[in-house]
């Protein structure tokens, strides 16, 4: 499966930047030991077809260089991944904070509306919300109360679904 003489390794052709798995010709790669004085027993990748047709240009790569390249590539990928995760975290946090504020505002508005409904007589500073009068029937305040609770639950559920959809994208 291994060891063969390698005469002219000057032709490297297309460079791969990681541990190669296949030659350009599609054949599987094997490692061979170099027989030259400068690189005696140094391992390199070559396909079996190259053994029979050495004049053709097949993939050549030193095993030690391939390992170093692979480590560098994994390192680069790792830092890129970390950057991506960090920016995703920041984005998600900002978006969640924005959503939380909106929910708070909505809840505050609903609470004010509820107060305006239950008090019915003494409307001091809730006059801004009188345009919402058609939302609930004024005759029973207890059912208006539960209606508001349902509305709050619905809004919270909708927001959670929205956040989930954003995160899982
Ligand atoms: Zn080949």
- pLDDT 10s digits, 2-34: 444 444 444 444 466 789 999 999 999 999 999
Residue 128 C-alpha from the chain's centroid: 45
Mean pLDDT of 104-124: 84
**Cβ neighbours for 29, distance < 8 A, ≥ 6 positions apart:** 20, 21, 22, 23, 45, 46, 47, 59
pLDDT digits (tens, 9 = 90+) for 81-101: 999 999 999 999 999 999 999
CA of 54 from ligand 1 middle (Å) equals 10
CA of 38 from ligand 1 middle (Å) equals 24
Q: What is the pLDDT of residue 125?
A: 54
Number of domains in the chain: 1
Three-class SS of 65-77: HHHHHHHHHHHHH
26 assigned to some structural domain: no
CA of 60 from ligand 1 middle (Å) equals 9
pTM: 0.48
27 assigned to some structural domain: no
Residue 99 C-alpha from the chain's centroid: 21
15 assigned to some structural domain: no
Mean pLDDT of 98-105: 94
77 assigned to some structural domain: no
CA of 30 from ligand 1 middle (Å) equals 10
52 assigned to some structural domain: no
130 assigned to some structural domain: yes
Q: Which range marks the domain in which residue 97 is found?
A: 91-167
20 assigned to some structural domain: no
Q: Which residues have their alpha-adjacent CB atom under 5 A from ion ligand 1?
A: 23, 25, 27, 47, 49, 58
Q: What is the pLDDT of residue 5?
A: 43
124 assigned to some structural domain: yes
Q: What is the pLDDT of residue 92?
A: 95
């Amino acid at each position: 499966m291994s060891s063969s003489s390698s005469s002219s390794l000057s032709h490297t052709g297309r460079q791969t930047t990681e541990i190669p798995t296949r030659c350009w010709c599609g054949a599987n790669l094997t490692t061979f030991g170099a027989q030259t004085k400068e690189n005696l027993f140094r391992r390199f990748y070559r396909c079996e077809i190259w053994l029979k047709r050495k004049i053709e240009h097949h993939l050549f790569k030193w095993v030690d260089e391939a390992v170093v390249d692979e480590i560098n590539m994994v390192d680069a990928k790792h830092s890129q991944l970390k950057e991506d995760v960090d920016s995703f975290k920041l984005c998600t946090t900002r978006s969640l904070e924005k959503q939380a504020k909106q929910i708070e505002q909505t809840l505050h508005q609903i609470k004010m509306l509820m107060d305006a409904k239950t008090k019915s007589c003494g409307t001091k500073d809730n006059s801004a919300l009188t345009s919402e009068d058609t939302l609930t029937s004024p005759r029973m305040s207890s059912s208006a109360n539960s209606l508001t609770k349902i509305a709050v639950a619905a809004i919270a559920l909708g927001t959670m679904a929205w956040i989930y959809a954003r995160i899982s994208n």
